Structure 1
Amino acid sequence: MTDDDLIAAARDASRHSYSPYSNFAVGAALGFADGSVVTGTNIENASYGLALCAEAVAVSKAMADGVRGGLEAVAVTGPGTDPITPCGRCRQVLNELAQLGGTDPEILCVGAEEVRKIRLSDLLPHAFGPASLT
């Protein structure tokens, strides 16, 4: 799977966004070592604190399907012109999945005309994860 394929999957996922309050449709696509891709989109709620981010939805789908390793890359898209990065909560959620497989995925932060590539460990240095509990 190429970066462009992963970005296209994230953009496609954003079309299913339920974001009537913010009108900020976000899509995420997780790329795994076996070539599989799991997508998610943001889901808002009238009780704002109950909203779900696209990355958290994608990780939840992957985990529910038994995927526990091999996360290599993540693409995150939004409606704005600037590249979008995962929020702090989603960085932690992505880190949990990455640590289960011992990976440090590349995060593709996608804007209208620019893609910033950054490792998850650079977005979330000194992360707390499963290994922190032993």
Structure 2
Amino acid sequence: MHIPAAELTPADHELIAHARQIVDEHGDGAGRGVHTMGAAVRAADGRVYGGINLFHFTGGPCAELVALGHARASGARELTTIVAVGDGGRGPVGPCGRDRQILFDYHPGIRVLLPTPAGVRSVRVEDLLPLPTPWSSVD
């Protein structure tokens, strides 16, 4: 399957750097079996919001979901781009299936920065979920 991917813009590189700074400064410590992720999301007005996962043996909120919550709590409703970066120099990491579904449901036009065979690229969330199960909180 071919997924259309775009080259990164300077703003995309800044978003990656923001997520990397979050995980580097606030991570739980790579090498201890705790995998920390930092995330950054850009709103349509250019503001950037960050998040970090809360690692716990029962599961915990992913960094992307924390960043989405941070944006929402700050009043941002239209988000354009999101990225998650792993600790220990892992770089950008694609969102898990739950995150993809939530991104699709709440922000169907959002672009996701993730590794591809051609390097880190920008991909529409719709292309990550070609046959999604649409859901809405509004009946």
Task: Please indicate the TM-score interval, normalised by the length of the shorter structure.
Answer: 0.7 to 0.9
Structure 2 residue aligned with 1:68: 77
Q: Which amino acid aligns with 1:123?
A: L
**Paired residue type of 1:52:** P
TM-aligned CA distance change 1:32 to 1:25, over 3 Å: same
Q: What does the per-residue CA deviation read over 1:9-39, in whole Å, with 9 as the maximum and x for residues that have no partner?
A: 1111212134686332211110111010011
Shift of 1:81: 4.8
* Long gaps (5+) in structure 2: 1-9
TM-score, normalised via structure 2 length: 0.74
Once residues 128 and 36 of structure 1 are traced to their aligned partners in structure 2, the CA distance between those partners, rounded to angstroms, is 28
Does the 8 A contact of 2:16 with 2:92 survive in 1?
A: no
Moved over 3 A (4+): 18-22, 79-83
> Is the Cα–Cα contact under 8 Å of residues 7 and 110 in structure 1 kept in the other structure?
no
Q: Which has the higher contact order (CA 8 A, sep 6+)?
A: 2
Partner residue, 1:129 = 135
Tell me the number of residue pairs that the alignment of Structure 1 and Structure 2 aligns: 125
Write the mapping of 1:1-134 to structure 2, written as runs, cut at 5 A.
2-15=11-24, 16-18=26-28, 22-45=33-56, 48-69=57-78, 71-79=79-87, 81=90, 83-99=92-108, 104-110=109-115, 114-125=119-130, 126-130=132-136, 134=139
Q: 1:53 to 1:68 in 2, by over 3 A?
A: same
AA in 1 matched with 2:95: P
Q: Deviations over 1:34-85 (max 9, x none)?
A: 010011111112xx2242210011111112222222x111122124657521
Distance, in Å, in 1 between the alignment partners of 2:22 and 2:36 is 9
- Structure with the higher strand share, 1 or 2: 2
CA contact (8 A) 2:64 2:83 kept: no
Q: Distance in 1 between matches of 2:74 and 2:91?
A: 32
Root-mean-square deviation (CA, aligned residues, Å) is 2.7
Higher helix share: 1
TM-score by length of 1: 0.77
